[in-house]
A and B are shown apart, each in its own frame.
Chain A
Amino acid sequence: MTPALFIQGLRVTIGAGTSAANVLRGVSLELQPGEVRGLVGESGAGKSMLGRAVLGLLPANAAIAAGRIAFEGRDLLAMREPERRSLLGRRIALIPQDPMTSLNPVKRIGAQVAILLRHHLASSRRAALQRAAELLAEVAIREPERVLGLYPHEISGGMRQRVLIAMAFACDPSLVIADEPTTALDVTVQRQVLQLVERLRQRHGAAVLFVTHDLGVVAKICRTMTVLHAGRVLEEGETAHVLARPGHPYTRALLAATPRADRPAEALRPVPPSLIENLWSEAHQFDRLAAAGPA
């Protein structure tokens, strides 16, 4: 089966010349159709950068230095611009991180949802608005017709994230990149949003790359997971397996740093990326280092 997303040896650098920094150092990742993959790692591990690279949203000073990104077997990096644009938003969708800033403040919700449908599916204005109401109903927004006429500042953050989720699934994508979609929400809203993503994914059969630093979220909805650190894949596999028997000491440290109700969290022991690079092949030495505690 052709993977929904196939990333091979992806290297992304920020800056140029001698000051260039590698944010992704040869990341490979394969996502099967319908698979929900958690992409975890601490801040700066490069997990958001990976999602942005797939969507063509890298910041202006960042560049893809090497590697391949293929969507359903088609090379996204070699693709011509119009072809790529016809995939983005339609076959490949994004659920953004911050619902407060991700909707256009001066346009009504209805117009923002409808323009997507009109752009990608060539719907008429009326059909698009009608479909937009259905989509809002699908993400459990009450009185969808009324909400279509509202501006973003007139609805809550949780509502806005629902609207953004509805927009992500509007054109029936087969790959959804969820970039920490619950980070900016409070805990009760978080759970509802997760359930929503899970339900829509099942209905639409999309593969989801769920970028997060929250292992609890991964445990809840991701069947597989990838642990990223300093731009490298440290470990990947079935979520249950990785969480039960983390193979890499960094994953163990990450797990230990997760707050739980039954015990206090340990501080995540910072490991300099340069060390990781040297130690990647020498996991035992890393083990000793981590066991020695915070420096």
Chain B
Amino acid sequence: MRWGEIIRRLVLIPPTLFGVAVIVFVLLRVVPGDPIAMMIPPGATPADITRLRAFYGLDQPILQQFVTWFGQVLNGDFGRSISVHQGVFELVLARLPATLELALLALLIAVGLGLIAALIGIHLRGRRMEWLVDIGIGVLLAVPDFLWALILLLLLGVLIPLLPISGRIDPQLDISFHSNFYLVESLLTGRFDVADALLHHMILPALALALPFAALVARILKTSLAEAEDQDYAQIARARGFSRPEILLREVFPNALIPTVALGGVQATLLLGGTVLVERIFSYEGIGNMAIDAVINRDFPLIQGLVLTFAVLFIALNLAVDLVVTLLDPRLRHG
């Protein structure tokens, strides 16, 4: 990607986010159910309800509401949560690191597992055992992440209670952190016992997110490796006296990596979206879990803030993928 292309992409971000904001804002208000209905105590009079609606500005026309809200957003004020009575920005910022750490761990596990599966698959290429790898990948791919969450929870949390099944860290532990990146912070400050406790809590949700994505990575990488191995330059390397492992590593892998990052990277948005349900299942305190609460409470400002946050993450991910692909493929650098 050339600089012009990068700038073009950056320029496109604000209109994209604006579009997302409009859609979410309008949809929330068109769909039946509003936050007031969720918060009024039994026996509230219609007058109370009207007063509350006016207090939150929900009695105004949607366009008017949007202009007010968007004006605040432009000034960095994302409003206050109706159900939690705190600033949306602060709430999201406090929970975002938990989700980012979980997603990153899941991504690492997925790439690791996918890499191993793809390498075993390509090693067995053309032999009868190759079948097994393909079937394994197919099974992992067929079961969605939230189902894996339930399976893992029952298997390793209940039947064989090896791992904790809820939360980010034991509530009894009294540990203070300077940031909300608990895992990163504990690793950087050398508190490995804390990191270990955190990882124990993260491993099941991370695995649930990682398994389908690992299968996806494995399938794309294995196909790309096979394709690249059949290319002339790889065949000719054999005639130059290089062994198959040498050729796979040096000639084939760098080429197979390009489609794998391009396709797999975009699919990583699925993994990010998967955090919503998986965090809920494991009571993990990230923004995905928060999003479900926000929806249940019809907490309009919080939902809007969370959706925008996910939108920013998706855009950033796509941009990062394109940049990495450009780094991997010299043919793209010159346009």
**Interface positions of A (Cβ within 8 A of B):** 55-57, 60, 84-90, 93-94, 96, 98, 101-107, 115-116, 119-120, 151, 153-154, 167
User: B234, B239, B242: which contacts A119 (Cβ < 8 A)?
Assistant: B242
Cβ-defined contact, A87 with B241, below 8 A: yes
Cβ-defined contact, A57 with B238, below 8 A: yes
Cβ-defined contact, A85 with B241, below 8 A: yes
Known contacts A57-B235, A153-B331, A153-B334; 16 further A-B pairs (Cβ under 8 A): A55-B238, A56-B239, A57-B238, A84-B241, A85-B242, A87-B241, A94-B239, A96-B232, A104-B233, A104-B254, A105-B255, A105-B329, A105-B331, A107-B254, A120-B241, A167-B240
CA distance A3 to B76 in the complex (A): 82
CB of A11 to closest CB in B, whole Å: 21
Across the two chains, which residue of chain B brings its CB closest to A104? B233
Cβ-defined contact, B239 with A57, below 8 A: yes
CA distance A120 to B246 in the complex (A): 13
State whether the Cβ of B328 lies closer than 8 Å to any Cβ in chain A.
yes
**Cβ < 8 Å to A, chain B residues 45-95:** none
**How many cross-chain pairs have Cβ atoms below 8 Å apart between A and B?**
69
Cβ-defined contact, A106 with B330, below 8 A: yes
Chain B residues near A101 (CB-CB < 8 A):
231-233
CB of A257 to closest CB in B, whole Å: 28
List, sorted by A's number, 26 A–B pairs whose CB atoms are closer than 8 Å.
A55-B238, A55-B239, A56-B238, A57-B238, A85-B241, A85-B242, A85-B243, A88-B238, A88-B239, A88-B240, A89-B242, A94-B240, A102-B236, A104-B233, A104-B254, A105-B233, A106-B330, A107-B254, A116-B240, A119-B242, A120-B241, A151-B330, A151-B331, A153-B331, A153-B334, A154-B334
CB of B324 to closest CB in A, whole Å: 13
Chain A residues near B234 (CB-CB < 8 A):
104
CB of B307 to closest CB in A, whole Å: 38
Cβ-defined contact, B241 with A119, below 8 A: yes
CB of A154 to closest CB in B, whole Å: 7
Across the two chains, which residue of chain B brings its CB closest to A81? B243
State whether the Cβ of B171 lies closer than 8 Å to any Cβ in chain A.
no
Cβ-defined contact, A98 with B232, below 8 A: yes
State whether the Cβ of B258 lies closer than 8 Å to any Cβ in chain A.
yes
Cβ-defined contact, B238 with A105, below 8 A: no
Across the two chains, which residue of chain B brings its CB closest to A150? B330
CA distance A16 to B109 in the complex (A): 43
Cβ-defined contact, A94 with B236, below 8 A: yes
State whether the Cβ of B251 lies closer than 8 Å to any Cβ in chain A.
yes
